[in-house]
Structure 1
Amino acid sequence: MPSAYTLHRQALSEMLRAERLAAPGEACGLLLGTGTHVHRAVATANVAADPLRHFEIDPVLLIAAHRAARAGGPGIVGYFHSHPNGLARPSQTDQVNAAGDGRVWAIVARGRITLWKDAPSGFEPLSYDTVEG
């Protein structure tokens, strides 16, 4: 596996909380930080037409996060979403919608979180360590 990422415990807690609140639909949000370190997870509205089966991060919040990063705030390391089906791996829909931009995708399923790099050749598994904030 490629080098380990670090995730603040609070970011993990926020992803798990978002999963619980969105059930039975899909939760989604942003992973903010620097390099291979995720400082925060920020849940966003899922604006997908069918949020029980798909996710779409609220574009207003996504644009605001990009603007904040350009102004010196934390960068967008990647995104997270949940899989109500319980599978903590990229789905076929995820594969089709992936940008291949190298960002991290965290997938939350039944309290389990896995990380994946959205590589041009497809998703690659990533390891991570949890750190205190």
Structure 2
Amino acid sequence: MSNDKPLVLDVDGTFLSTDLLHESFWAGLGRAPLRTLRITATRFRDRARLKAELAALGPLRTDLMPVAPAVAEVVIGALNEGREVCLASASISGWWRSWRPITGSPSGSSPRTGGSI
């Protein structure tokens, strides 16, 4: 019996063993330390604006982010079954442009990544 339902995963803390907001902060410190600290200090209470301004500092290296191994196995299994896999996050959509596909699927398919939901 096939399962037509898509597999939908939260990115922060489920698919990834990290949080994209934290990663954007650390990436910003590496690119523009003073600007990152200023943005963080002045936008701390406005999460949407904080995320947007940190995202504007540059793309994230999603290829270096730690994927939870057990969750990755479930994703690869779902892809092998032909199921659609969707990654959900409240993060800025621009962060998703550099998302690395999951490999291991015989069809070469990868999860569909979405921006903010």
Q: TM-score under structure 1 normalisation?
A: 0.29
Q: TM-score under structure 2 normalisation?
A: 0.31
Q: Which has the larger radius of gyration?
A: 2
More strand by share: 1
More helix by share: 2
